Amino acid sequence: MARQLTRAIFNAIMFSLCLVPFASAQEQGVFDADNLEFRDAEVQPLDTETGLRLGSFQVNSQVEVGLSHQRTKSNEDSNQTTQTFSAETQIESQWSRHELRLETLLEAASRRGVRVQDWTVGIVASGRRDISSRLSANGELRLSHDVSEDDQDQTDYGASAGLRIAPGPLEMNLRGSVDLRRVGDPVAGSDNGNDFRDLEAEVRFAYNRGAILAPFVETRATHRRTGMIDGFDGDATRWELRTGLQIDRGEKLTGEVSVGIGHIRPKDSERDHLNALLWAASLTWSPVRLTTVTATAATGLEFSQTTDLTASTMTSGIRSTDLALRVERSFNHRLDGFASADYNYSDYGDIDRSDQTMLFSTGLTYTLTPDSSLFASFTHERTQSSGSDQAEDDEVNNGLAVRLQIRH
């Protein structure tokens, strides 16, 4: 009897020892009991709780120091090493129905010892007010000032306000904005050609029922007011009309496709009107766990301040085509990586000039501690300009950069 009791206790102990690792493997997602095979363990992120809590506000700040080296091949080859420093602070409310947010930025760059050649300061204040479940308002104020070694100091002001109305299955978004730029030293030959003021209004109608495919229609009008540029009046107005579909398959697949038309009407009678067919497509896809692929393609119609004095013309605008592909991968809870390729083609309308830019970049981010990380990247950029009004030399730029980021 005692021997049977002893054997039963021994068998129970051995069974429990076998059961504990099996249960632990199931909790960690290592063993798939249905398919009887081992799977990759879930990546367990580090505890990244940073910041300071002040009542109903969360304060997050970060400091970043970096070192980069760039080699340029053109008519005159050059090598340049730059030290950079940046500091950011974000103060954000923690309310559920309303939001207040304040962001500050300071950036400085030095290419010769500790002397600062370029620096930037900026501040952005934004807010959102949910008046009801069907009506909300938002607004933003922006201010930045850039100082560069070539004395092209620049100050930018901006403000925008928006209204979201969702009375039923349709959602309407209204937005208005104003942007001003002031440059301390205008370019040669221009009275005030680098300064401008943009007034913009936008209306968007969309289906908001949370369907996989949601149609939308949007229209936008922008008026740019600027000074005389090489004897031409730079004022112009741009209209855009688009329609498309939003795609939402949750975390696996999201995107948007649209098609439309654009038109730029210059104020100066000596400048031609410019029309363009606009289309855009964007896709964010997670083919496998911990991997994200983002692809975008779009055409655009932008204002331009470029002139060709030999032909006594000023371009009405720039037609552009942009293609981009980016792949991001989390290898483990400490190491993330990315690779991207970008292409841009710009046509200057009634001026005989076109530009092409090709950019490839790749990088790794290693999390040292929950509040610090190290980033390293490599970039290869190639720019080409063609046409009788070619204003840029063909260039090839290769760059290496290393940055240390510390968060609080």
Which tens digit of pLDDT belongs to each residue from 224-273?
A: 998 788 788 889 999 999 999 999 888 889 999 999 999 999 998 888 89
- CATH number of the domain enclosing 335: 2.40.160
18 and 48 part of one domain: no
Claim to verify: residue 22 and residue 155 sit in the same structural domain: no
Proportion of the chain above pLDDT 70, given as a percent: 83
Q: Do 242 and 259 belong to one domain? A: yes
**Number of independent structural domains in the chain:** 2
Q: Whole domain around residue 7: which residue ranges?
A: 2-37
Give the predicted TM-score (pTM) of the model. Answer: 0.80
Residue 186 has pLDDT above 70, yes or no: no
Asked if 240 and 283 sit in the same domain, the reply is yes
- If you average pLDDT over residues 147-173, what whole number do you get? 89
Mean pLDDT across the stretch 117-139?
Answer: 94
Same domain, 67 and 20: no
Confidence of residue 315 (pLDDT cuts 50, 70, 90): confident
Q: What DSSP element (H or E) covers 14? A: helix 2-27
What pLDDT sits at residue 41? Answer: 39
284 shares a domain with 202: yes
Dig out the tokens for 399 from the structure.
């760059």
* Both structure tokens of 267: 């104020």
Same domain, yes or no, for 329 and 382? yes
Cβ–Cβ < 8 Å for 287, 294: no
> With 60 as the cut, is the pLDDT of residue 37 above it?
no
More confident residue, 131 or 209: 131
Residue 332 has pLDDT above 60, yes or no: yes
Do 133 and 242 belong to one domain?
yes
Q: What is the mean pLDDT of the chain?
A: 84
| CA-based nearest residue to 408, from 48, 10, 8, 12 | 48
| pLDDT tops 90 at residue 356 | yes
Mean pLDDT of 307-320: 84
The rounded distance, in Å, linking the Cα atoms of 355 and 306 is 13
Q: Are residues 317 and 290 in the same domain?
A: yes
Note whether 157 and 224 are same-domain residues: yes
HSE (side-chain half, CA atoms, 13 Å) at 121: 0
- Do residues 17 and 9 touch, judged by C-beta distance below 8 A? no
**Can you give the pLDDT at residue 25?**
35
Please indicate, yes or no, whether residues 198 and 101 belong to a single structural domain of this protein. yes
Percent of the chain with pLDDT over 90: 57
- Please give the torsion angle defined by the CA atoms of residues 47, 51, 56 and 57, in that order, rounded to the nearest 10 degrees: -130
Spatial neighbors of 292 by CB under 8 A, at least 6 apart, are: 284, 285, 286, 327, 328, 329
**Do 268 and 387 reside in the same domain of the chain?**
yes
